[in-house]
Amino acid sequence: MRVEFAVGCDPTVSSSTRVSINGPQNVMVLGRGASGKTALGVAIAGLGHQERGKAWFDGTDVVDIPPRRRARLIGYVPTNVSALFSGLRSTVEGELDLSLDLLEITGPDREEAKSEVVDALDLRKILHRDPFSLSGGERVRAGVAMVLVKSPTLIILDQVFDSLSEKARWHLRGVLKEYTRRGGAVVEMHAYAPPWGADTDQCIVLGPSRPLLGSYGDLVAGLDPFLLDDYRWETRAPRLDTHRARPTTCDTQLHAAQTTFTYGVGRFELGPVNLDTQCGEAIAIVGPNGAGKTTLLMTLGALLLPHGGSIAVTSRGAIALAPQDSREGYQWASKVLYAFQEPDDQIYCKSVAQELQETARWIGAADPAWAQAIVESLGLQDVLEASPMNLPRPVRRLVCIGSVLIAKPPIALLDEPTTRLDRAQRVRVKEALRMYLEQGGTCLFVSHDPGFVRELATRTLHMADGRIVQDER
């Protein structure tokens, strides 16, 4: 089968950049945040408007292909992988079966195909789990499995590697290479070049003008600095001075003693965790997918109530214990405030300006000068009147981070703050956090971005199997 798609603001005209995929290939699409990567992926999959791209399969416009056949031809894994889960089945295995049922895939090869995908993506341990209870990386693997199990001709992955640990990224990359070896085609979307960039067949760089098309080797040397590979970026990226004197005007500390949490009998267990923070620390929480990083952060933020142990904040001799009832969470948020991994789990206001100020208003921490400084550091001044839900996902991510930092809590909890951000946006986040730390704040953040951890963290907690296994200072 021949797959062809046009990239550009007006893909119907001859000036658009045309990409042809003849047989098994791996195509990489690079572009800054809001450059149109998601819009292109949606257009190729025939799932949305065609402003940024248009696709044909053997000469047939993708939108003219019957939906069920199109679903067999194209598999799309969105940035928010949770959107793939129907909620009609209570387990990962149930969602896999539903994917096959909807396409009426039957016969003796069905279970064999499912078993092969489950083994390839190492899903045996989570087949019985509710997909909405999985970690970000586990959700990615389950979502990719729901697509691969249908054996499509083309699979599109919209920046899903960002939620994976380094080991898991290379593992998924190996699965995709095997998929292309067997005849499939892959289109990967990235905000910056991954380490395997040179191992792709075609490369597309989206920008403000006509897209660039060629081999990775030909294009990467001339890329904008914010699209450079990791090695080149590190030689240019300014680093936060992690040895600077910590603020002396604040003595707020977070303490967790023998803290535990479980999702249920026979399911994931967190802890016991013992943790004490110092004012002004930037603490990175790292580890493999499913290690319990997000669960720890949500427990510290009282979004999940611990089943054992205690969590407290001390400040100037006063002690505040974490609430025992989720209805009292807003009081804890004035001390320990959590930014969600998925922006759509947090945003609810009509405008960016309102969203940025809403949390500060609720906890009584309004400071116009500080808010303006954060807005400018994150580059949000031009979108204040826009609806946040109409903005590209990376910008929504910046809005969520901004709303937490503007509230200026003593302790900020950021769940993968740089996921799916481009290099320029990552620098903006680092600058905003630098300002927050210099004001006496303490930040704990989950990250799969080793460069960001090196640049920002003053301390690193390594997690595995629900426990802190190393505290690196």
E strands along 266-366, which residues? 269-276, 282-286, 308-315, 318-321, 336-339
* Residue 357 pLDDT: 95
Contact status, residue 189 vs residue 159, Cβ threshold 8 Å? yes
Contact status, residue 200 vs residue 186, Cβ threshold 8 Å? no
Residues of the chain with pLDDT under 50: 9, 11-15, 237-248
* Residue 8 pLDDT: 62
Render pLDDT for 248-260 as a digit per residue (tens, 0 to 9): 456 789 999 999 9
Tokens standing for residue 220: 């990467």
Render pLDDT for 164-213 as a digit per residue (tens, 0 to 9): 999 999 999 999 999 999 999 999 999 988 889 889 999 998 877 678 88
0.85 cut: is pTM over it? yes
Q: How many helices (H) and strands (E) does the chain have?
A: 15, 20
For the chain, which domains are there? 2-235 (3.40.50.300), 253-472 (3.40.50.300)
Q: Is 91 exposed, middle or buried (0-12, 13-18, 19+ CB in 10 A)?
A: middle
Tell me the CB-side half-sphere exposure of residue 62, using CA atoms within 13 A: 28
Contact status, residue 453 vs residue 433, Cβ threshold 8 Å? no
